[in-house]
Structure 1
Amino acid sequence: MTEDRPGHYAVAVGRWDERERAAMVALLRRTSTEKGERQLVQQFTEGATATALLRERLAPVDLFSDPVEEATAEAAAEVAAWEQDGIHVITLADDRYPHRLRDVFDRPALLFARGILREEDDGVAVVGSRTVSPEGRSTAAELATRLVERDLTVVSGLAAGVDATAHQAALRAGGRTVAVIGTGICKHFPPENRDLHREVAEHGAVFSQFWPDRGPDKTTFPLRNGTMSGYSLATIIVEASERSGTRIQARKAVEHGRPVILMQSVIDRTQWGRVTAGRPDVHVARDADEAMATVDRLLERPQLLESYLPRIG
């Protein structure tokens, strides 16, 4: 693993291998903590293979058994069942793994996805409170529409409020939208967004870093926010309360070295917003015009334009 710039890491990528993918699933089935997964990612990016790490983990119980082969075969059957259900199973070394997400220090080892995958997907996250004001809803819709006009993907979390509004506006505008969700890919949270989940997968993609049948809990959404930040060029926060989980995405974006745009209402109404406004590469916008002007300035940066220019030039 090599550090390109503070907080950003490059991972060697090869042609994905079905056995290695199954071995990674088997390893993660035997890893119960976030810290344990991070350690596996560290070893993996330093050149270890999933099969070798699994062999270190599993000792044979007798001369006639091979627990690695048994565990790999069991995991391969799981992968085949998921794929039969239309779910992409993507490891960190898979060339389908999102390019920008691979660059952050806390990238997940495994992703599940439905929809149309792009290794290089130039998107801006539009996120905020589940309980959103009419003004906030209008701002989220306008931002999503104008991002689509710039051929940018609208990224959000498929939650109620700001997230759902952003996805819906992107779809109405005929653009691409991506959801990074805080449950397994087979779950729908909130339940009323089941149809929206399907529409986003049909016209963009839905990603999850959790086992497909996992429900929501207090740990899943903070992890999801970090992954969404890693996937995106930048994050725009439309509205958020003092205790909103969206503040975690702002913090993670700063750690990732990704720009954050806070709408003025976040500054006016929350202490965390005022504190965050003083962090590096955090910008404040009074309205959608100012937010989009900031996006346009950010897109002039060479490191952001690197993948964006070939698609718009």
Structure 2
Amino acid sequence: MDSIQLQALHYESLLKAANGSEAKASYAYEKALECSIIGESLVLHAQTYAQLLGVEAAAISDAYYKIRPLFEAMDTSVSILGWDSPLWPKQVDSFAFRPRFLYVQGNVQLLKQNSVSVIGTRTPSLEGKQLALSCAQALGKAGYVVASGLALGIDGVAHKAALAAGYPTIAVIGTPINAYYPPEHCALQQEIAKVGAVVSRFSPATVTQKWHFLLRNRLMSALSDASVVVEDRDGGGAVRQAAFALEQKKYLFIYQGSVDNHSVLWPRQFANQSRVFVIKKSQDLPRLLNQAKKTREGVGKPKEKNLQLDLF
């Protein structure tokens, strides 16, 4: 087991002993770094860690011995990135809920490239599927990496469209890298791991919870220059990511068709906010995004009018 694997193993053991509290685990981990004991066996310093976490020393040892086999069984093609890793994506550093480690299978370099999230409902309309397809193609052609969450529906269409056109894609998942969810996308995840990148903030020891997918969306937004919500219901995961994107001062794109759809409220709630673009054609997205990045249009100030501009 190399140094970064050992560090991740220690952190995950602390996390388990702390009953999933990332704040407590991070505090104990940082103290161990300060004391230069993080590279030594965790059980040798179980009492020290126990005092930092406020638990019994046995809880540290038990967690370590349960988790270690899962790390030892991890696929050798998986790269673990920590904050000090040369390939760590710095764009996530200034945002809330920054993970301590990332687990990446595939081309790690893609995390450093400009990417855009293409996301939406698991039950899209035919028009939604067509928009996701054209969006992924337009972004890939413009040199952006297409990111999505590997879910059924819009996410799967975006990934497959990028792959079919020979463009790179990143799947940011809400499960450990050694799990496949949904099961229907097992083959797709494996393909992305070969020609793109699969990214998770969750170690192989993680027991997946429903709220992990919101952490997945936060991470996906942080990794991306912008998020495109193709279609979604009120309160859906893609809509939650839209809010994360604006919170992180990223850009958000929504389609005019969503704004005109009065069966949902979210598009009109976002449409007039700063850094939000309403578009009709996917082909306009890369140009508008490039323009916004150059001029910093809308960052930190409210717009006086909806950014539909006069393109249509």
Per-residue deviation, 1:280: 2.4
2:241 equivalent to 1:264: no
In structure 1, the residue matched to 2:276 is 282
Q: Please, which runs of 5 or more residues in structure 2 have no aligned partner?
A: 298-312
Q: Kindly tell me the number of residue pairs found equivalent between the two proteins.
A: 281
Q: Given that residues 187 and 215 in structure 1 are in contact (C-alpha distance below 8 angstroms), is that contact kept between their aligned partners in structure 2? A: no
Out of 173, 190, 193, the residue aligned to residue 165 of structure 2 is: 173
Is the Cα contact below 8 Å between 2:15 and 2:24 reproduced in 1? no
Counterpart amino acid of residue 286 in structure 1? K
Structure 1 residue runs without a partner (length 5+):
1-15, 304-313
Shift of residue 290, structure 1, vs aligned partner = 3.4
Correspondent of 2:9 among 18, 22, 46: 22
Q: Is 1:97 aligned to residue 82 of structure 2?
A: no
Structure 1 residues 162 and 18 mapped into 2: Cα distance closer, same or farther (>3 Å)? closer
Task: Name the CA distance, whole Å, in 2 between partners of 1:251 and 1:207.
Answer: 21
Do 1:44 and 1:50's aligned partners in 2 also have CA atoms closer than 8 Å?
no
Could you tell me which residue of structure 2 aligns to residue 251 of structure 1? 243
Could you say what secondary structure the match of 1:300 adopts?
Answer: helix
In structure 2, the partner of 1:145 is 137
Which is worse superposed, 142-151 or 24-33?
A: 24-33
User: What residue number does 1:273 align with?
Assistant: 267
Structure 2 matches for 1:63-212, cutoff 5 A?
78-84=70-76, 86-118=77-109, 119-212=111-204
1:58-105, CA deviations, whole angstroms, 9 ceiling, x for partnerless residues?
A: 259xxxx99979976876654332144x32233333333222223323
Aligned to 1:13: none
After superposition, what is the alpha-carbon deviation per residue over 1:252-295, rounded to whole angstroms, capped at 9, x for unaligned?
Answer: 11111111111123323321221122332122112213333322
Q: Is the 8 A contact 1:266 1:273 kept in 2?
A: yes
- 199-208 or 98-107: which moved more? 98-107
- Report the structure number with the largest CA radius of gyration: 2
Distance 1:93 1:268 in 2: 46
SS in structure 2 opposite 1:140? helix
Question: d(CA) in 2 for partners of 1:191 and 1:66?
Answer: 37
Q: What SS does the aligned partner of 1:103 have?
A: coil
Say which SS state the counterpart of residue 108 (structure 2) adopts. coil
Q: Which moved more, 1:154-163 or 1:22-31?
A: 22-31
Structural RMSD (CA): 3.2
